[in-house]
Amino acid sequence: MGAQLRLLRRRIKSVKSTAKITRAQELIASSRIVKAQQRMHAAVPYEREITHAVSAVLSNTSSVDHPLTVAKEQPAMAGVLIVTSDRGFCGGFNANVLREAEALKAHLSGRGLQVKPFVVGRKGITWHRFRSREMSGEWDGFSDNPSYGHAKEIADALISSFKQDDGIDEIHIVYTEFVSMLTQEVVVKRILPLEVEEAEATPETVMPYYEFEPTAGDVLDSLLPRYIESRIFNALLQSAASEHAARRRAMKSATDNANELISVFTRQMNQARQAEITQEISEIVGGANALADAAAGKE
Amino acid sequence: MAKLRVGVVSPEREIWSGEADMVIAKTVDGEIGIMPGHAPVLGVLVEGGVLRVKRDGEGDLVAAVHGGFLSVADNDVSVLAEAAELGSEVDVAAAKDALQRAQASIEADQEDADARLEAKRAAARLRAAGEEV
């Protein structure tokens, strides 16, 4: 009996220290969500303006034949940018993204395209390495706090591969969108060839006739890469906020489970302790009775 | 008189927004001044330019703007900068230091495009802060 009691005490101690760790992780994640959300909101004005500017150029120039907007007739290769996190402890966050990426890959292969993965985040990279799959690009170290420079780096790699004749012909992105604190959704979007997300063109929102400095083509040349960078930056920010939210949720349920375990173990431990005491008492009483009986027998 | 609604935004944050009488920016074609009622324009800004926003009753707002776009429509002026900094926020000592370092590497290697860009940026930041370059 004594052994069981000791065992339970040890388990309670270890679960308690685990609960402390997960609780701390939960608190850290909660405070980081707020920061990540603020960064997401801070990036909104730029994104809105650049989308507006791109649609302004596209609506002003009737025949846009920019290499970034024209779909190739015979696409042969597709790039998929997969945004995962650097660290684990975030529930199904990475598994969900990778599952969605696999589904997209199967879909693209079905269309006869060769798929080239570009991976962001250590978890996604190790996932690919473990399956010895070749990656066309990998970036890590910033998944929880991406800067615009990172987005630019990724966009540069994607765009230069897109412009090569034997490079990729389509670019898709798989990331987790931050819908709310409680809901995050994995989304798949095509970013190249470009489909500008335009607000509905009601008569009131028809674009004015713009002058361009220097020319519409030049403006488009420098505008489109910026637009793609901004899309990627948005995906990174969304993914970072989602990562923190997923981690907070995972750590909260881990803490709850640990606390539940502790109360179960405590109950078992008390029971064991009581059983031990009862047994000791009955042993003593039994022993005393035996002695008394023996003494009575002598007389 | 009508006013311009001006927004200066970078990818990471909104730098400044408010009303103004005139905006002066530098596009790849040259300087452009925008006043209320200006025709819609979409321009590409130069690397290391200085943006000046003239306001009524207040001092000019000056910012160093590195690359990006200027879009004007219907008295709305948006400056989309890849990176931007208000003149009042510039760390003058750091910018001077950066300029010197960039100039030193240009002298060492005339072809150093990165250093040239860096020098331009540092100079723009200093000019925005009101320093002579």
Q: How many CB atoms sit inside 10 A of residue A275's CB?
A: 13
Q: Give yes or no for B133 touching A (CB within 8 A).
A: no
Residue A44 lies in a domain: yes
Q: Give yes or no for A130 touching B (CB within 8 A).
A: no
Separation between Cα atoms, residue B97 and residue B103, nearest integer Å: 10
Q: Is B78 helix (H, G, I), strand (E, B) or coil?
A: strand
How does pLDDT run across A68-122, given as a tens digit for each residue?
777 777 788 899 999 999 988 888 899 999 999 999 999 999 988 899 999 999 9
Residue A75 lies in a domain: yes
Residue A8 lies in a domain: no
Mean local confidence (pLDDT), A286-294: 92
What pLDDT sits at residue A61?
Answer: 65
Q: Most B CBs within 10 Å: which of A40, A46, A212, as the mutation test of the B interface?
A: A46
- Tell me how many residue pairs between chain A and chain B have CB atoms under 8 A apart: 89
Please give the tally of structural domains in chain A: 1
How does the average pLDDT of chain B come out, rounded?
84
Interface of B with A in 38-77 (CB under 8 A): 39-44, 68-71, 73-74
What pLDDT sits at residue A195?
Answer: 65
Residue A219 lies in a domain: yes
Q: Alpha carbon B59 to chain centroid distance? A: 16
Q: Give yes or no for B37 touching A (CB within 8 A).
A: no
Which range is least confidently modeled, A24-38, A115-129, A263-277, B4-18?
Answer: B4-18
Instruction: Measure B85 CA to nearest chain A CA, in Å.
Output: 15
Residue A257 lies in a domain: no
> Looking at the predicted structure, is the pLDDT value of residue A2 above 90?
no
> Looking at the predicted structure, is the pLDDT value of residue A1 above 60?
no
CATH number of the domain that residue A58 is part of: 3.40.1380.10
Whether residue B61 contacts residue B73, with contact meaning beta carbons closer than 8 Å, is answered with no
Q: Give yes or no for B113 touching A (CB within 8 A).
A: no
What pLDDT sits at residue A107?
Answer: 93
> Looking at the predicted structure, is the pLDDT value of residue A199 above 70?
no
Longest dimension (CA), chain A: 125
Catalytic residues of A, by residue number, are: 90
How does the average pLDDT of chain A come out, rounded?
87
Residue B34 carries which DSSP code? Answer: E
Q: Is A248 helix (H, G, I), strand (E, B) or coil?
A: helix
What pLDDT sits at residue B13?
Answer: 85
Residue A267 lies in a domain: no
Separation between Cα atoms, residue A27 and residue A15, nearest integer Å: 18
User: Order of strands across the sheet with A137-139?
Assistant: A137-139, A114-120, A77-83, A170-178, A184-192
How does pLDDT run across B65-94, given as a tens digit for each residue?
888 889 888 888 999 888 888 888 788 888
What pLDDT sits at residue A197?
Answer: 53
> Looking at the predicted structure, is the pLDDT value of residue A267 above 90?
yes
Residue A266 lies in a domain: no
Which range is least confidently modeled, A12-16, A80-84, B53-57?
Answer: B53-57
Q: A223: which chain B residues are within 8 Å (Cβ-Cβ)?
A: 44, 69
ipTM of the complex: 0.81
Strand-pair category, B49-54 with B14-20? unpaired
Whether residue B66 contacts residue B37, with contact meaning beta carbons closer than 8 Å, is answered with no
Separation between Cα atoms, residue A11 and residue A261, nearest integer Å: 9
Residue A264 lies in a domain: no
Q: A151: which chain B residues are within 8 Å (Cβ-Cβ)?
A: 11
Q: Give yes or no for A9 touching B (CB within 8 A).
A: no
Which range is least confidently modeled, A30-34, A193-197, A288-292, B90-94?
Answer: A193-197
Domain assignment of residue A101, given as a range: 27-248
Residue B39 has which token pair? Answer: 């025709």
What pLDDT sits at residue A80?
Answer: 93
Instruction: Measure B78 CA to nearest chain A CA, in Å.
Output: 7
Of B7, B39, B44, which is closest to A219 when you measure between CB atoms? Answer: B44
Q: B71: which chain A residues are within 8 Å (Cβ-Cβ)?
A: 49, 52-53, 56
Q: A103-136 burial, b if ≥16 CB within 10 A, otherwise e?
A: ebbeebeeeebebbbbbbbbbbbebbeeeeeeeb
Residues forming beta bridges with residue A76, ordered by sequence position:
none
Contact between chains at A148 and B71 (C-beta distance less than 8 A): no
Mean local confidence (pLDDT), A199-203: 49
How does pLDDT run across B94-128, given as a tens digit for each residue?
888 888 888 888 878 777 777 777 888 888 888 88
Of A147, A208, A214, which is closest to B40 when you measure between CB atoms? Answer: A208
Please identify which residue in the block is written with the tokens 């190739």.
Answer: A72
Amino acid at A70: V
